[in-house]
Amino acid sequence: MSKTAVTATFSDLLRSPKDVLSVLEDAGEVVLTRRQAPSLRLTQASDSEQELTTLGVVGQLFAASLDEVALERVATNMAVALPWIGLLPKADHAKFVAEFQTTARGCIAVKRFGQLSVLLNAWEATAEAYADPTVSADGSDLDYLDEPEVVPAPDLDA
């Protein structure tokens, strides 16, 4: 039997926790909506662990199937979901996929995905830099930093 998420309010949980937990038992997942705040997802820990384990296996299979030709093909396919990949130089496509794969596998192993978000944001920012019309097409006039540098916040009133 396929379970589907049921929606309840956060107030419902506070007022009638037993009712919401009963729904959780039946549905497998409850999405709690909150006023002016992101929704929360309630699920049983065993279901969440099973999802992460499955994701880990998929990640390992994905990693095991990649060679140089496959990296470029995966980058092309990923560009459908992440269209900014097309703004990166072709030479960086396989590098992006390899870094994504390595980081994703590490994140899956520790069950924390913040670093994957950092990686995606960094590559997207790189694509934005390449999209800047004042930058050469091959990016040869871009300077890459070995260490991050602190820069002052832009003056928004200027």
CA 30 to chain centre: 22
Q: What is the pLDDT of residues 97-109, one digit of tens each?
A: 889 888 888 888 8
Q: Give the separation between CA 18 and CA 83, rounded to whole angstroms.
A: 45
pTM across the whole model: 0.58
Q: Where are the domains of the chain?
A: 7-43, 47-131
| 157 band by pLDDT with thresholds 50, 70 and 90 | low
Q: Are 74 and 97 in contact (CB under 8 A)?
A: yes
* pLDDT exceeds 70 at position 2: no
Q: Which residues contact 48 (CB under 8 A, 6 or more apart)?
A: none
Amino acid at 40: L
Sheet holding 6-9, edge to edge: 6-9, 29-34, 37-43
Q: Look at residue 59 and give its three-state secondary structure.
A: helix
